[in-house]
Structure 1
Amino acid sequence: MKKLLSNLINENHKIGFLFDLLIQFLIILSILLFILDTFFYEYLKNYISLYQNLEYLILSVFTLEYLLRTMHGKWKYIFSFYGIVDLLSFLPFYILHWLINIVGYNIVGLNTIKTLKLIRILKFFEHKKSRYTLIITNIILLIFIITISSLTINKPINHITYVALEDEHLKEIMHQKKIALVIGNNDYNYLTSLKNAINDAELIDNTLKEIGFKTILNRNISSAQEFNNVLRDFVKQAEKYDIRLIYYAGHAIQQEDENYLIPTSYQSAEGDCINDDFNLYGIKRILKAYSKNANGANILILDACRTNPCLDRSLGSNQGLVRSNPPKGSFFAYSTDFGETASDGVGEHSEYTKALAKHLQVPNIRLGDLFQNIRIDLNNNNITQMPVEENKLTNYVILNIDVK
């Protein structure tokens, strides 16, 4: 075993040569992952599990190589140039894990540590023989890095990577005006009442005020006409605002690929929900209102579909909501997956809204990441519902900005 481990770092041995090739391949893979994480995160996050597994593989092999070279070269290697390079190729990521899981995190610190991945490219020059084997691959990689960097630098400011221009970007958007319409429907006259919808609306209302929103809070909207009046007034007020947000907690249903919010006094003439949308409030009306103003950001958050409000009389298997296909410049968030129902919560608030209020208070988080964090929270707490979003935003949106 000792001889095998020694041969792994011997470039003149066949095993050592193959191990060098593996190291070279992982260096290139590491740089590619860095590029994807920096410039294409919105796509990469769909494959986050694969990304993390590859990072763990790279980290494990680089750590093993360092330990083997330390055992072979001892102090001379540890304080050599390449000894330091090898140490920096993996040590920052153990520190990163510690920052996230033990002491919380600071986004500037994390991005600085993440940028240290670029040091790994120096490892390429450490391997005298195998580098010639992969020289063409590295030339292609260099061309790819230059091309991506050039495209990024020449994009408009709101498309430039958040990692590279964090402070500048935050200062640019910190004075955006924000307004929110918050609705909670609890007390249904003819359907099953809810216990937490108003509590949730009040929690979100207070949280949004704390992070600089002007808020309009409505409780127990009783009719489609009242819904319409409230939305019309909100749209009129929101014209001069950069970020417009609507939060709704209460009953909602879908029929024939349309989503509807249910007023508290709703009662169908036929005794069911499915065939009568006259007294329901269609989300398509919100879509229409948002489509008229694509500047800034239009946000809709639905913590709805908590139970089947029609007690299975009409919905059958059509529980839950469907995709809304929001217009350009919009972001729609749903407390659970399409076609599923969400929990009203065992305490004073639904699980989704508790997580939403928690993560709204974390500053300098992009909107997509905020809702990804909510999803992680619910999963870690063994909550079965899986929140989903529809993202048609054309710039980065941060609801809670804190520039020191």
Structure 2
Amino acid sequence: MILSSKGLDIKPSSTLEITAKAKQMKADGIDVVGFGAGEPDFDTPDHIKQAAIDAINEGFTKYTPASGILPLKKAICKKLEEDNNVKYEPSQIVVSNGAKHCLTNTFMAILNPEDEVIIPAPFWLSYVQMVKIADGVPIIVKASKENNYKVTVKDLEDALTKKTKAILINSPSNPTGMVYSEEELKEIADFAVKNDLFVVSDEIYEKLIYGDEKHISIASFNEDIYKKTIIINGVSKSYAMTGWRIGYSAAPEAISKIMSNIQSHASSNPNSIAQKAALAAISGDQECVKKMKVEFDKRRDYMFSRISEMPYISAIKPHGAFYVFVDLDEVLGKKYKGEVIDNASVFAKLLLDNEKVAAVPCTDFGFDTHFRLSYAISMENIEKGLDRIEDFLDNLE
């Protein structure tokens, strides 16, 4: 029997795979330090959990409208206006089963077969697979380290064709932690408007920005780019709610209607109980976010400082999210116990097998010379894991 060629072309998530392997090793009694985490290690705040418990006790356990409950959509609109200076109506909001679901809905709503989507590399590995699922063609544009792993308009111009339909921007970025400046975003916005392109703006890490950097939504500049932008966001990262699976999109009403229709057939609606929890998160006290951010900032400083002192590897200090993107250029070609390290995947395998440290090789992120370390783990484990990485590097031949 012949299976779906498109389905066979979709690759599994390497980040989830390495995290699962590390968890299994831990379950087997092995002392593993896992740097693969794409989720905060904090518990969901109590007032958010209580909202879910109240929803259950009140019997709020039935179907909801496909695109989400009205109180939550109104809260999202209020948040977008106050935090991001963009005004939306509830009819422009689609609440989905996580930001991943929002992105998949987006590409299915805007793409026709062979439409191209420009994806700056390094990128979150699921973007490419999502575009393929929607019959689109991912066009990878590699950003330079010299430009802090951010694409320029010149890069976009070089990738532009008659089939280009959209540009994907992720700021703060997974895996680099880089944040696009207002000037950089304005240039991209002008380019998108000039060439009649959609901008898919993944802003899931917006509340985790450090130092003097600030988050700016590209849709906020003017009416022209507003009409071209699909904002993607959610509660997973900011409120330690990854397992609750609530994301949301904000887009022109015609696009949101298509996304809602697609979702109604794919999943009926987002989880009713989790929607009540998300409402409490977005409309409630934000002190919990600030506390997590302070702790992440401490870990960021420590991890970057340690990496800067290690031989052969380097990194640019991240401005957002909770990852450090580590350059292996000086490691490549060296040997560990006789085995040549010629890419990040080999490095990660040797590191896990010999030092019991799980790091994410970024081959599937468009950079096979880098790996990603998450600081969404305890400081104790960060210290232990970095000690082991340093030992590994000290033993290279």
Q: Would you say same fold, with TM above 0.5?
A: no
Normalising to structure 2: TM-score of the pair? 0.23
The structure with higher relative contact order (CA 8 Å, sep 6+) is: 2
Normalising to structure 1: TM-score of the pair? 0.22
Larger Rg, first or second structure (1 or 2): 1
Greater per-residue helix proportion = 1
